Amino acid sequence: MHILLSTSSLLLFYTAFLLNEKNEAIHCRPHFQPYRKAAHNRSANRISNGIEARKHSHPWQALVFTIFDRQPTKCGGSLIHWTNQNASGLVLTVAHCLLNRNNNAGQSLARASQIRVYLGVHNAVRLNANARIMRVTAFAIGDYQSFSRQNDIALLKLKQAVPYDEYIRGVCIPSLSTDIPSRKQPCYVTGWGRMNHGTQKATVLQQIEVTAFKGVRCSPHVNLTTMFCAGSTTEDIGICMGDSGGPFVCEEDGKFTLYGMVSFTEGFICSNAYHPAIFTKVSAYTSWLNQTASAFNDAM
């Protein structure tokens, strides 16, 4: 049997095909490609001793403010690509950013109403016209252990899903079986934390290119099932106070995957070549993410 389509029907079909093709290409892929370190003078490097990221080349980057009684806590986060839609309402960050350590009675957990998520931001002081400020309606944290830093993960549900554009896009999540990336993959950490061991904080998004290490270079206190460490063996670069929750992403064939989140450094304000930073291993929490996201949907 032959089916004849009118010109208008063919046009609609072709338009739908192009839209679908565009939709397929947009998630986990930045419109603006990140700088590679080889393209920059190393002396221009100052996260700690990083470079200013190319504007909107990390479109999943979130700025997470938790507003306690005193000065707000500023952390990083990542808008994650969770459904087949070109929009997302889920942000991944670390649990310790949602704890109020200024409380005289001990640590207290934030309320959803105290959390704000900024997306599409490059300059954290002067927001551009493409930035979005989102309220959080619910969140969940893992079984966080403050002493060992175990399960330093939190999932935030935004008031509404944010459509993808050139400036805001979700990043892919690794599967449960995914190991830390190979040295051949370019991997980046981004954030607005301190620029060095001093008090100067970044106003524009900073970027470093790092390598995930196997256990031999990690502290013996690191649980390699749920954490990993990363840094550089050739440059004095690292993460600093204020970078917590920020993404550790790696690129393969133009697609970016969130392998980790900045969790902590050991005994120093900033990590360095001798003391790499420790990251929450996202692939270890795939089942938890599935359960939590489903619980958010069931509660709607």
pLDDT digits (tens, 9 = 90+) for 66-85: 998 777 889 999 999 998 89
Q: Which domains does the chain have, with CATH numbers?
A: 59-170+285-299 (2.40.10.10), 172-283 (2.40.10.10)
Of 57, 78, 88, 244, the catalytic one is 244
- The answer to whether 40 is a known catalytic residue is no
Of 81, 96, 243, 283, the catalytic one is 96
Which of 46-55, 187-196, 223-232, 281-290 has the highest average model confidence (pLDDT)?
281-290
In angstroms, the CA 81 to CA 23 distance is: 12
What is residue 3's predicted lDDT score, i.e. its pLDDT?
37
What is residue 244's predicted lDDT score, i.e. its pLDDT?
92
- Please tell me the least confidently modeled range out of 44-48, 74-78, 145-149, 265-269: 44-48
Task: Find the length of the chain.
Answer: 300
Residue 275 clears pLDDT 90, i.e. is over it: no
Question: Whose structure tokens read 């031999």?
Answer: 216
pLDDT digits (tens, 9 = 90+) for 8-34: 443 443 333 333 434 456 889 999 999
Give the predicted TM-score (pTM) of the model: 0.86
What is residue 47's predicted lDDT score, i.e. its pLDDT?
55
Contacts of 159 (CB under 8 A, 6+ apart): 89, 134, 135, 136, 137
- Calculate the average pLDDT of the chain: 83
Mean per-residue pLDDT for 238-248? 86
- CA–centroid distance for 152 within its chain: 13
- The answer to whether 152 is a known catalytic residue is yes
Of 152, 232, 243, 283, the catalytic one is 152
